[in-house]
């Protein structure tokens, strides 16, 4: 069976001298299809990194079963096609960036004959080509480390890519680069498992997203690119126009003519439901065309943001397991 299957996964840690039990994962079951970009979001301490650790075979679950392409996650055949970028990235600081990638290229049992070219290519892809690649890792900035980490994860074109907060500490240009690389990978049938607090990144890259809270998968949302999702656009007009000069009925009619819907009115603002970005543009065009002095139009938080914001803060379950 291809893809990732997780059935009844539970994991408990013992903490401190008293051996207090902390339940990090509770009966998690899900399936990730081959080539799917799957996001994991949730508050701090929800069990996301533990989940990734179990998928990678670095942590031993107390109960449950994980198979990747029908194999155990620590099977060498699976590891040979796996790339991993941990959140707390620790690299061999005494190496140069180039040496580090060459080292992981060898560990991944990739062709020695192609090593030089593939390492140079990997460095170029993350913007560390030339002198930067020859610099000792201990002289790298946080963002450069993260770029190098992503380069090592992508070595050898893995079929499964596990990324834990990949854009953490990366500058805006790096974030855009990361997003582009991840989107490319997702298009190339690489199964991407992305754990990130950057919800916009998750929403842009992933096909589905699991919301994890207190060690449980609370919801799995489909956010695939191309899928149509209603969005709410908040529009504010100048001169108190909305509610005074432009009535609710007029706004509703204008919305319908633009293929949108009036979701609410709270002068001087109105909320509209639109199908997508194009629908939002159409609505604004219609409103302006009808003489509504639009001063500001902002999208309300995405579904993922709402999902996130509705959850309580630290949610790790404590108690007997």
Q: Which residues bind another protein (CB under 8 A)?
A: 13, 24, 49-50, 52-53, 56-60, 76-77, 79-80, 82, 84, 86-88, 90-92, 94-95, 103-104, 106-109, 152, 162
Shortest Å distance, C-beta 131 to another protein: 20
Q: If you count them, how many residues does the chain have?
A: 321
Whether the CB-CB separation of 52 and 164 falls below 8 Å is answered with: yes
Shortest Å distance, C-beta 78 to another protein: 8
Shortest Å distance, C-beta 57 to another protein: 8
- Exposed, middle or buried: residue 267 (CB in 10 Å: 0-12, 13-18, 19+)? middle
Tell me the three state secondary structure of residue 25: strand
Q: What backbone torsions phi and psi does residue 142 show, to the nearest 5 degrees?
A: -60, -45
Shortest Å distance, C-beta 179 to another protein: 23
Shortest Å distance, C-beta 205 to another protein: 21
Q: Which is nearer to another protein, 195 or 201 (CB)?
A: 195
Of 283, 299, 296, the closest CA to residue 241 belongs to: 296
Q: Which is nearer to another protein, 103 or 271 (CB)?
A: 103
Shortest Å distance, C-beta 200 to another protein: 25
Q: Which is nearer to another protein, 71 or 282 (CB)?
A: 71
Whether the CB-CB separation of 268 and 231 falls below 8 Å is answered with: no
Q: Which is nearer to another protein, 15 or 245 (CB)?
A: 15
d(CA 197, CA 269): 30
Q: Which is nearer to another protein, 107 or 256 (CB)?
A: 107
Structure tokens at 164: 């834990």
CA atoms within 13 A on the CB side of 83: 26
H or E stretch covering 76:
helix 76-79
Q: What is the CA radius of gyration of the chain?
A: 23
d(CA 233, CA 262): 10
Q: Which is nearer to another protein, 83 or 279 (CB)?
A: 83
Q: Which is nearer to another protein, 51 or 272 (CB)?
A: 51
Whether the CB-CB separation of 256 and 246 falls below 8 Å is answered with: no
Shortest Å distance, C-beta 152 to another protein: 7
Q: What are residue 234's DSSP bridge partners?
A: 271, 298
């Amino acid at each position: 069976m291809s893809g990732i299957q997780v059935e009844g996964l539970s994991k408990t840690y013992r903490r401190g001298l008293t051996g207090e039990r902390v339940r990090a994962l509770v009966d998690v079951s899900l399936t990730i299809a081959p080539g799917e970009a799957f996001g994991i979001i949730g508050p701090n301490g929800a069990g996301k990194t533990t989940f990734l650790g179990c998928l990678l075979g670095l942590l031993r679950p107390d109960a449950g079963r994980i198979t990747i392409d029908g194999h155990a996650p620590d099977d060498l055949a699976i590891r040979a096609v796996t790339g991993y970028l941990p959140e707390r990235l620790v690299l061999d600081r005494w190496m140069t960036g180039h040496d580090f990638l060459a080292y992981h290229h060898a560990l991944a049992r990739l062709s020695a004959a192609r090593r030089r070219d593939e390492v140079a290519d990997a460095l170029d892809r993350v913007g560390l080509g030339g002198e930067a690649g020859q610099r000792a890792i201990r002289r790298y900035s946080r963002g450069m480390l993260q770029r190098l980490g992503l380069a090592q994860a992508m070595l050898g074109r893995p079929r499964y890519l596990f990324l834990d907060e990949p854009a953490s500490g990366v500058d805006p240009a790096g974030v855009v680069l990361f997003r582009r690389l991840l989107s490319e990978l997702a298009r190339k049938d690489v199964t991407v498992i992305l754990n990130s607090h950057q919800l916009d990144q998750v929403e842009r890259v992933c096909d589905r997203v699991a919301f994890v809270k207190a060690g449980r998968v609370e919801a799995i949302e489909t956010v695939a690119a191309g899928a149509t999702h209603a969005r709410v656009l908040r529009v504010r007009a100048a001169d108190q126009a909305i509610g005074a000069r432009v009535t609710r009925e007029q706004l509703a009619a204008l919305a319908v003519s633009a293929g949108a819907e009036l979701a609410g009115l709270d002068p001087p603002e109105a909320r509209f439901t639109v199908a997508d970005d194009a629908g939002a543009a159409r609505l604004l065009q219609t409103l302006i065309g009808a003489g509504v002095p639009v001063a500001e139009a902002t999208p309300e938080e995405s579904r993922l943001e709402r999902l996130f914001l509705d959850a309580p803060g630290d949610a790790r379950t404590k108690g007997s397991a």
